[in-house]
Amino acid sequence: MNITTVIVYIVIMVIFSILSEKWLRWKLKMEKRTWILYQCVNSVHKWIERFILMGFLVGIFFVDVTHHWTFSFFLVVFSVRAFFEWKYDRESKEYILTAYSVILFLVFIGVGVVFDIISF
């Protein structure tokens, strides 16, 4: 696939995810996020995410195929976030959006691979 198709696919993916997140926030009557960067639920969550990040950065140097590592990193980090938000901050309902993001990420990767827009 050429680079233009990949860029258009990514732009469509980003626009769809932003609009669907806004719709979900409205539908679930969730307040708008006031911070730009993600804030961990507790210190254990923070340290687990740091450990995953360190493992990812070390793994990049020992693995030839870095896009598999990147895919796995995002999948693991967002899954851990969804779990900790569900376990320790259930009333905010942020875990629903995070779990939705994980599923949406998997769907977009799957569709991209099936239709040969992106390749692994």
Which two tokens mark 105? Answer: 């990420």
Query: Residue 17's pLDDT is what?
Result: 94
Tell me what the pLDDT averaged over the chain comes to. Answer: 90
3-state secondary structure of 39: coil
Mean pLDDT of the region 50-55: 93
Please check whether residue 92 is in contact with residue 85, taking contact to mean a CB–CB distance below 8 angstroms. yes
Instruction: Enter the tokens of residue 37.
Output: 């960067």
- Which residues are within 8 A (CB) of 84 and not within 5 positions of it... i.e. 6 or more apart? 40, 41, 42, 44, 45, 48
Question: Which pLDDT belongs to residue 15?
Answer: 97
Higher pLDDT, 93 or 65: 93
Tens digits of residue pLDDT in 2-33? 889 999 999 999 999 999 999 999 999 998 87
Give the whole-angstrom CA distance, residue 33 versus residue 30. Answer: 9
Does residue 1 carry a pLDDT above 80? Answer: no
Segment 79-99 shows an average pLDDT of 94
Count of alpha carbons within 13 Å of 81, Cβ hemisphere only? 21
